[in-house]
Structure 1
Amino acid sequence: MNAAVNAISNAAAETSVQSVNRQPLGARVGIPPRRVALDLKHSDAGYWYANDPFLTYYWSAFSILLPEGEQFFVEAVRHYRDQITDENLKAGIAGFIGQEALHTQGHQVLNKFIEDKNLPAAEIEAQLRVLLDTAAKIHPRLSLAATICLEHFTALLGEQLLVEEDHHNSVNEDIKPLWMWHALEETEHKAVAWDVYEQTGGSYAVRAGTMVVTTAVLGAVMAYATARLLHADGKLLDVRNNWRGFKSLFGRQGRMTRLAPKFLDFFRPGFHPNDHDTKALVAEWRERLFGVNGEVNHLLKGRVVH
């Protein structure tokens, strides 16, 4: 947790550097850090996704992984930042670091909410920290390759959450702002780590091979974390509900299964994240969340930046 807190402090310092029009650097390239202050102290949300234990704990597991995961992303990109000469990409890196650090802060609030229900969120996070610290010691190039793999996942998940109305309407209203804000910003900065990887000599073979390993590890970690949460709540042996929830994600027409074609695009040698055109989607949700009558404006700290 200390590492994630340090990332927030470092990012706050970096994003305080402003351009001539006094906007954060990332805003120049459409990646503005926005501080959304989620407060769940008085929330009575129980099973906060579709009132379903399995699905709630699946997405809770994802939230628990995010603070340490995003710290890993930030460090992987920061390591190569001095090699970047393109001014727009430099601004994009500043926006990426700022956004990821603030996402960490938001998910720490949700993770504390989960922990307070006598669920092992902190223990799972500590175990993930050991895994990521070990991975980070292998080689900076592999850390950056793993980052673009995981950013591909988060971009696809973010796009899906924005597009599919039944998906985002399944999230409890107290918690929904966190996920919609995060989904928008993952979509905004989806190409930053990729461009850093390519501009610093990253190869196709390394990124493709890393994706195979990363997918397997992420799947195992998500299965373990979800099972731990279900077990802590006495729901692990609720076979009927768990199977129904699993099928809704990974069945023939499951939510995650439907992402497969776009996921597999990653393995095309000439692929770039912007091949998945989300400009109109980003514009729509910037207005919905942070426009004049934005749904999340009441939680914003500081000036609204589209």
Structure 2
Amino acid sequence: MSISTTSTNTASISTTSTNTASISTTPDGVTVAPRNLKFDVSPDLKTWWHSNDPFRTAFFNALSLQFPEGEQQFINAVRLYRDRIDDPKLKAEIRGFIGQEALHSREHRDYNEGLKARGYDIDAIDARFHRHMAWVGRLPASRQLAGTCGAEHYTAVLANAILSHPEWMEGATPAMQRLWRWHAIEETEHKSVAFDVYRQCVGNERLRRVVFLFVTFNFFKYTFLNTCSLLKRDGKLWSLKTWLGGLNFLWGRPGVLRRCLPEFLGYLRRDFHPWQQDNRELLRQNLSALKSG
């Protein structure tokens, strides 16, 4: 089956594989396979590792705190349906997806242990997020998979932004730049895997969009709460200078979240598909940079 995904601002891409009956829409030239890389960022976490800026550092650390348990839930949700997939290409990509997410979870768990060693109350932050994820794990399988698709959209858009705008990570330590590039590359590679499983096994477009609204609320909620918890430990929670700089970083210039907002909202389109953002060339460029780094 040939699937074409088009957008008003991207070229049409064909996702036909050598298996014409494939339901996978991962395009030619993209392989979903884990890279077993190790990153020792514990020395970096003793500092404000991004530009010596407490907010930028706390924002990325706040994202990391959600990854170990969040990505395990993504794995669990896809596993609930993988026995219903017969397409060999998509089955292989599911294995690659699980491998990539497991390694991301491992590396960010070590990352978060480094934050704990610095003196942050990571146990309290984890307990808060664990209660939410335990609730997610009790939802019907279709809602869990819809939530995974929505969360994967956020990670894919942020990954594209990091890869497209290396200047946003200028001032970060080399080890951190490499870790976030690796994570962004693999999130991009597997961005349509859960979506393909959902479309094949559930296919409820209304549910997909409604669940995305809940995912959006919780993504911003826990990122904000985590950032506040980290800034409080740094003595910067009530620093006007810190918050003005942070708001500028996220919503002004460069405006990390502002620039991503149209792509975030694109998920609500009825004809949405992850590969409407055809960033294969960006992947190739960053894979080369990852290997040389």
Q: TM-score, normalised by structure 2?
A: 0.86
* Counterpart position of 1:227: 228
Opposite residue 52 of structure 1, the aligned amino acid is D
Cα distance change of structure 1 residues 42 and 225 upon mapping to structure 2, 3 Å threshold: closer
The aligned residue for residue 212 of structure 1 is 213
Q: 1:179: Cα distance to partner?
A: 0.7
Distance, in Å, in 1 between the alignment partners of 2:39 and 2:129 is 24
For 2:5, the equivalent position in structure 1 comes to none
Can you list the C-alpha shifts for 1:255-297, whole angstroms capped at 9, x where unaligned?
111111111211111111011001111111122213xxx21xx
- Decide whether the 8 Å contact of 2:36 with 2:103 is kept in 1: yes
Residue pair 1:66, 1:107 contacting (<8 A) in 2 also? yes
* TM-aligned CA deviation for residue 218 of structure 1: 1.4
2:67 maps to which residue? Answer: 66
Does structure 1 conserve the Cα–Cα contact (< 8 Å) formed by 2:45 and 2:118? no
Give the aligned residue type for 2:59.
Y
Q: Given that residues 49 and 57 in structure 2 are in contact (C-alpha distance below 8 angstroms), is that contact kept between their aligned partners in structure 1?
A: yes
Q: Deviations over 1:9-36 (max 9, x none)?
A: xxxxxxxxxxxxxxxxx9x960111111
In the other structure, the counterpart of 1:120 is 121
Q: Give me the whole-angstrom Cα distance separating, in 2, the residues matched to 1:43 and 1:138.
A: 38
* 3-state SS of 2:248 partner: helix
CA shift in 2, pair 1:51/1:195, >3 Å: same
Instruction: Tell me the distance in 1 between the aligned counterparts of 2:261 and 2:217.
Output: 15
Runs of 4+ more than 3 Å apart: 40-45
CA contact (8 A) 1:54 1:245 kept: yes
Q: Check conservation: 2:55, 2:246, Cα contact below 8 A.
A: yes
- The residue aligned with 1:198 is 199
Query: C-alpha separation between the residues in 1 aligned to 2:197 and 2:184?
Result: 21
Question: Bigger shift: 160-169 or 75-84?
Answer: 160-169
Q: Which amino acid aligns with 1:149?
A: G
Q: What is the TM-score normalised by the length of structure 1?
A: 0.83
In 2, Cα distance between equivalents of 1:36 and 1:135: 29
Change (3 A) 1:44 1:269: closer
Q: Equivalences for 1:133-172 in 2 at 5 Å?
A: 133-172=134-173
What residue is the counterpart of 1:103 in the other structure? 104
> Which blocks of at least 5 consecutive residues in structure 2 are unaligned?
1-25
Structure 1 residues 170, 160: closer, same or farther in 2, change over 3 A? farther
Aligned to 1:284: 285
**Residue 71 of structure 2 contacts residue 102 of structure 2 at CA under 8 Å; is this kept in 1?**
yes
Secondary structure of 1:116's partner? helix
Measured after TM superposition, the shift of residue 247 of structure 1 is: 2.5
The residue that corresponds to 2:239 in the other structure is 238
CA–CA distance in 1 between the matches of 2:231 and 2:40? 25
Deviation of 1:168 after TM superposition, in Å, equals: 2.6
State the Cα distance separating 1:44 from its structure 2 match: 7.0
User: Is contact 1:29–1:92 with CA below 8 Å preserved after alignment?
Assistant: no
1:138, distance to aligned residue in structure 2 (A): 1.7
Name the CA distance, whole Å, in 2 between partners of 1:173 and 1:269: 40
Q: 2: distance between equivalents of 1:281 and 1:78?
A: 29
Structure 2 distance, partners of 1:213, 1:41, is: 33
For residues 211-250 of structure 1, what are the alpha-carbon distances to aligned partners after superposition, in whole Å with 9 as ceiling and x for unaligned? 1111111111111111111111111011122122122202
Equivalent-residue separation in structure 2 for 1:209 and 1:43 (angstroms): 39
Distance 1:83 1:44, change over 3 A: closer
Q: Distance in 2 between matches of 1:69 and 1:59?
A: 15
Deviates more, 1:35-44 or 1:162-171: 35-44
Whether the aligned pair in 1 keeps the contact of 2:146 and 2:211 (CA below 8 Å) is: yes
Equivalent residues of 1:141, 1:202 under 8 A apart:
no
Task: Name the CA distance, whole Å, in 1 between partners of 2:224 and 2:42.
Answer: 28
Question: Any conservation in 2 of the 1:29–1:88 contact (CA below 8 Å)?
Answer: no
8 A Cα contact 2:81 2:201, kept in partner:
yes
Structure 1 CA distance for aligned equivalents of residues 176 and 233 of structure 2:
21
Please list the CA deviations of residues 44-96 of structure 1 after superposition, one character each: whole Å capped at 9, or x if unmatched.
Answer: 75101121101111110100110000001000001100011111100010000
Deviation for aligned residue 1:174: 2.5
Contact 1:45 1:174 in 2 (8 A): no
Aligned-residue offset at 1:202: 2.6
Report if aligned partners of 1:153, 1:263 keep a CA contact under 8 Å in 2: yes
Counterpart position of 2:264? 263
Q: Between 39-48 and 249-258, report the one with greater CA deviation.
A: 39-48
Query: Aligned residues: percent identity?
Result: 36
Instruction: Note if contact 2:156-2:184 (Cα within 8 Å) is conserved in structure 1.
Output: yes
